[in-house]
Amino acid sequence: MGDSGIENLLQESRTFPPPAAFASKAVGTADLYTEADEDFVAYWTRQAKERITWFKEPKQGLDDSNAPFFTWFQDGKLNISYNCLDRHLADGGDKVAYHWVGEPGDTRTITYRELSDEVNRFANGLLSLGIEKGDRVAIYMGMVPELTIAMLACARIGAPHSVIFGGFSAESIVDRVNDQEAKLLITCDGAWRRGTVVPLKENCDAAMESTPSVEHCIVFDRTGAKVSMSDGRDVWWHDLVAQQSTECEPESMNAEDLLFILYTSGTTAKPKGIMHTTGGYLTGAATTHALVFDLKPDSDVYWCAADIGWVTGHTYIVYGPLTNHTTSVMYEGTPDYPDKDRLWSIIEQYGVTIFYTAPTAIRAFMKWGVEYPQQHDLSSLRLLGTVGEPINPAAWMWYQENIGPKDCPIVDTWWQTETGGIMISPLPGVTTTKPGSATRPLPGIFAQVVDVEGDPVPLGGGGFLTITKPWPSMLRSIYGDDKRYISTYWERYPGAYFAGDGAKTDEDGDFWILGRVDDVMNISGHRISTMEVESALVSHPTVAEAAVVGATDDLTGQAIAAFVTLRGTATESDELLEELRDHVAMKIGAIAKPKTIIFTPDLPKTRSGKIMRRLLRDISDNRTLGDVTTLANAEVVAAIAEQSGGK
Ligand code: PRX
């Protein structure tokens, strides 16, 4: 292949058809693909009408007259908190919405009725502070139920929310709050993380010195930490809601009214405020949540172990599950506190049936060892999911063999902050899965792998992932920057959405996501995905985790530099280093053999668990290191740099 696509190197031939017993009772069925292929707008309109209670049912489906500013169901009216709460109360108010587990061991069980009461009281509290429909509200909290309550209260009164992940710094709060000119900031005194308190209010205090738009700061008392409260500006959550009524009329929102802004990083330093609106977003969230997770609301206990500060938590902890009247688990802390079996103990305690996490977490579980899941009865599980990055086949197999029951279906779900909901994923009762493949676009989603010219790449080839038809939960723009919206997503391949990911298809038409395009190396004119080399490394029995980057090389353009974390039992040696290089050559071919391999106890990661390849590239190229403040484990960078002989 020339430079038109991405080399397709790693071959994976294991397949797992859905178990018959699962398929016979599955929520998602094969005929949905046919229905959506025939008329995708009609398909989504049917989902919108069946899954959502509208104050005014939409007559319009998709309006593409002002592309790429698409609208869906734009003459419809609804309220999202009404859909998540009120409509379930008549004969389902006593059902548990969340089993919440605090990191220190405290727990709360919250029914739909209790959640509704709290949301109404807090919504009235917001109104009492002068928050009106259209005002932006920034939320910077830990994983407490009040975070969900705050989001739903905003949705109830029509104030768009913007959740800022609790791991971000004061500076990140300033950027995000100022970009949207938020009028209110909601926070906690602190958040529990591995037994210590993260000082959330203190970070807000520092941020609020430079956020002129913020009039008030509401503080939820989670940890009892001592915080300073500024008179007239700061107000305690419990004081605000103390006298409020449990009834607050839901605002009738237009389907295209802004529901939330969520910031995500792009290729420049300025984060992008991704905008999601009301009717289309909820349609996507509810439909994908029900179909991909095979949701049986009467019997399932569902757990998405993400943080609500990311889009995964928005769609699959809050809006999708509540719209579908789900009982969920929500956990405040880290998976290794107080010990590395914390998640398995929660699954056992609540009888979790559906579990959704990220490959980076799965690789950590592998590294810690099977003895931790083995200490617990995980037999309640019937479906596993992953999201966030390509999953190495070895991690996929480990997940299925050690966490799920025999032949447990795994849904590898590809999507993005921008897409609002899952786009490419198996339907667990229909699709034959393959370890490492997100398989195929969901019904109503249309994807195409193209080359640099935008021409379709035939099956079996690699290239760039595009989405060729609009979908209801798509982003509507970048807040305050329509031009960047157009140039980032719509200009590269006119008429199609460019996701920024590389992908390949196999002969069956299944998609294999190769990671962000800037994670693609160019070795002697061959584009090679970092992910494929990583997968090859991780398939070696001594390797727990690997990150691969393209280092500048005079001869080959780029050379492959690998950073490898070994499993507990293995020891570093020059022999092992050679063995790993040969292993990659054996798995993929000599072209993919890493030029250098550095052993490291850990890899630099963002707080959302993504490996910071940019930093590893800096280390490999002996460049001054960029910003490390958003890392979860900044100390590891210096250690790696020292080992590689760099700065
Ligand atoms: O590169 C893809 C990767 O994560 C990116 C989106 O990141 P974010 O907006 O933070 O949303 C993450 C949660 C939806 C994508 O462009 N990604 C996400 N899911 C997968 C994935 N890569 C491979 N396989 C996946 N299942």
List residues bridging with 253 in a β-sheet: 78
What band does 429 get if pLDDT is binned at 50, 70 and 90? Answer: very high
548 alpha carbon – ligand 1 mean position (Å): 18
Q: Does residue 510 have a pLDDT over 90? A: yes
Minimum-distance ligand 1 atom for the alpha carbon of 422? 14
The CA-atom distances, in angstroms, between 347 and each of 340, 355, 379, 614 are 13, 9, 9, 35
The CA-atom distances, in angstroms, between 611 and each of 413, 476, 617, 633 are 19, 28, 12, 11
Q: Residue 451 corresponds to which tokens in the numbers above?
A: 């080359």
pLDDT for the residue 301: 98
The CA-atom distances, in angstroms, between 200 and each of 162, 232, 280, 558, 605 are 16, 19, 33, 42, 21
Q: Does residue 162 have a pLDDT over 80? A: yes
Minimum-distance ligand 1 atom for the alpha carbon of 608? 10
Which residue puts its alpha carbon closest to atom 15 of ligand 1? Answer: 416
pLDDT (average), residues 193-207: 95
Which of residues 169 and 348 earns the better pLDDT score?
348
Q: Residue 33 corresponds to which tokens in the numbers above?
A: 């693909």
- CA-CA distance, 259 to 481, in Å (whole number)? 17
What DSSP line would sit under 175-230, residue for residue? Answer: HHHHHHT-SEEEEES-EEETTEEE-HHHHHHHHHTT-TT--EEEEE-SS-------
Percentages helix, strand, coil for the chain (3-state, rounded to 5) are 30, 25, 45
571 alpha carbon – ligand 1 mean position (Å): 33
pLDDT for the residue 529: 74
Minimum-distance ligand 1 atom for the alpha carbon of 306? 13
Query: Residue 184: which of 134, 145, 226 has the closest Cα?
Result: 134
What DSSP line would sit under 511-534, residue for residue? Answer: EEEEEEGGGEEEETTEEEEHHHHH
499 alpha carbon – ligand 1 mean position (Å): 10
Q: How distant is the alpha carbon of residue 277 from its chain centre?
A: 18
> How long a stretch of residues is the chain?
647
The CA-atom distances, in angstroms, between 406 and each of 375, 398, 399 are 18, 12, 11
- Dihedral sign, CA of 69, 269, 524, 459? negative
Answer for the pair 98, 317: CB distance below 8 angstroms, yes or no: no
3-state secondary structure of 593: coil
Strand segments, DSSP code E, in 403-492 are 410-413, 447-450, 462-467
Query: Residue 124: which of 297, 261, 247 has the closest Cα?
Result: 247
For a mutational test of ligand 1's pocket, the pick from 6, 504, 513, i.e. the residue with the most ligand atoms closer than 8 A to its C-beta, is 513
Which residue puts its alpha carbon closest to atom 8 of ligand 1? Answer: 416
- CA-CA distance, 554 to 581, in Å (whole number)? 21
Q: Beta-carbon neighbour count of residue 120 at 10 Å? A: 25
52 alpha carbon – ligand 1 mean position (Å): 27
Which residue puts its alpha carbon closest to atom 12 of ligand 1? Answer: 388
Question: Cβ < 6 Å from ligand 1: which residues?
Answer: 264, 311-312, 387-390, 412-417, 438, 499-501, 513, 515-516
pLDDT for the residue 360: 82
pLDDT for the residue 524: 67
pLDDT (average), residues 456-481: 96
Answer for the pair 643, 598: CB distance below 8 angstroms, yes or no: yes
Among the listed ranges 126-135, 150-159, 583-592, which one has the minimum average pLDDT value? 583-592
Which of residues 175 and 28 earns the better pLDDT score?
28
550 alpha carbon – ligand 1 mean position (Å): 20
- CA-CA distance, 156 to 122, in Å (whole number)? 10
pLDDT (average), residues 170-179: 89
Q: Does residue 647 have a pLDDT over 50? A: no
Minimum-distance ligand 1 atom for the alpha carbon of 310? 10
pLDDT for the residue 2: 38
Residue where the block lists tokens 């009040």: 146
pLDDT (average), residues 115-127: 98
DSSP 269: S
Minimum-distance ligand 1 atom for the alpha carbon of 417? 9
Residues 564-600 pLDDT 10s: 999 988 899 999 999 999 999 888 777 788 999 999 9
Which residue puts its alpha carbon closest to atom 22 of ligand 1? Answer: 389
- CA-CA distance, 138 to 592, in Å (whole number)? 45
Which helix (H) or strand (E) covers residue 414, if one does?
A: none
153 alpha carbon – ligand 1 mean position (Å): 28
For a mutational test of ligand 1's pocket, the pick from 272, 389, 411, i.e. the residue with the most ligand atoms closer than 8 A to its C-beta, is 389
pLDDT for the residue 222: 98
The model's pTM is 0.87
pLDDT (average), residues 14-27: 97
Minimum-distance ligand 1 atom for the alpha carbon of 516? 1
Residue 407 phi/psi, 5-degree rounding, is 60, 25
Residues 611-629 pLDDT 10s: 888 888 888 887 776 666 6
Query: Residue 320: which of 293, 348, 347, 301 has the closest Cα?
Result: 293
Which helix (H) or strand (E) covers residue 527, if one does?
A: strand 526-529
pLDDT for the residue 1: 37
Among the listed ranges 18-32, 301-315, 526-540, which one has the minimum average pLDDT value? 526-540
pLDDT for the residue 533: 87
What band does 646 get if pLDDT is binned at 50, 70 and 90? Answer: very low
pLDDT for the residue 518: 65
Q: Residue 499 corresponds to which tokens in the numbers above?
A: 């996701």
Domain ranges of the chain: 109-251, 540-643
- CA-CA distance, 548 to 594, in Å (whole number)? 8
Query: Residue 171: which of 146, 203, 200, 199 has the closest Cα?
Result: 203
388 alpha carbon – ligand 1 mean position (Å): 4
Which residue puts its alpha carbon closest to atom 11 of ligand 1? Answer: 416
415 alpha carbon – ligand 1 mean position (Å): 5
Which residue puts its alpha carbon closest to atom 6 of ligand 1? Answer: 416
Q: Residue 171 corresponds to which tokens in the numbers above?
A: 């500076």
Q: Give the pairing type, strands 184-188 and 526-529.
A: unpaired
Answer for the pair 199, 190: CB distance below 8 angstroms, yes or no: yes
- Dihedral sign, CA of 211, 215, 220, 225? positive
What band does 346 get if pLDDT is binned at 50, 70 and 90? Answer: very high
pLDDT for the residue 526: 63
560 alpha carbon – ligand 1 mean position (Å): 23
Q: Residue 202 corresponds to which tokens in the numbers above?
A: 């203190």
List residues bridging with 108 in a β-sheet: 100
Q: Residue 504 corresponds to which tokens in the numbers above?
A: 């390949």
Answer for the pair 205, 140: CB distance below 8 angstroms, yes or no: no
Burial of residue 646 (number of CB atoms within 10 Å: 0-12, 13-18, 19+): middle
361 alpha carbon – ligand 1 mean position (Å): 14
30 alpha carbon – ligand 1 mean position (Å): 25
- CA-CA distance, 65 to 286, in Å (whole number)? 26
Which CATH superfamily does the domain covering 540-643 fall into? ANL, C-terminal domain (3.30.300.30)
Gap between the terminal Cα atoms of the chain: 37
Which residues have a Cβ under 8 Å from the Cβ of 66 and sit 6 or more positions away? none
Which residue puts its alpha carbon closest to atom 25 of ligand 1? Answer: 414
358 alpha carbon – ligand 1 mean position (Å): 10
- CA-CA distance, 282 to 299, in Å (whole number)? 23
Span 109-251: which CATH code? 3.40.50.980
What DSSP line would sit under 588-609, residue for residue? Answer: T-GGG--SEEEE-SS--BBTTS
DSSP 318: I
Which residue puts its alpha carbon closest to atom 21 of ligand 1? Answer: 389
Average pLDDT, the chain: 92
Q: How distant is the alpha carbon of residue 283 from its chain centre?
A: 18
What DSSP line would sit under 115-127, residue for residue? Answer: HHHHHHHHHHHHH
Residue where the block lists tokens 């590898």: 412
